Amino acid sequence: MCALLFSITTCLLNRTGTAEPVCSKFEYEERLLEKMVRLEHDFRLLQDKWQAAQEALAESITKADTRMIQLQTMADANKATLDAYNATMDNLVANITSRADKQTGTQWVYSTICIVKVHM
Q: Give the C-alpha separation, 98 to 109, whole Å.
A: 13
**What pLDDT score does 92 carry?**
85
Which pLDDT band holds residue 116 (cuts at 50, 70, 90)? low
**Mean pLDDT in the chain?**
80
Q: Give the C-alpha separation, 97 to 112, whole Å.
A: 9
Compute CA 101 distance to the chain's CA centroid, rounded to the nearest angstrom: 58
Number of domains comprising the chain: 1
Q: Which domain holds residue 42?
A: 2-119
Q: Is 56 helix (H, G, I), strand (E, B) or coil?
A: helix
**What pLDDT score does 119 carry?**
52
Residue 120 predicted with pLDDT over 60: no
User: What percentage of the chain exceeds 90 in pLDDT?
Assistant: 45
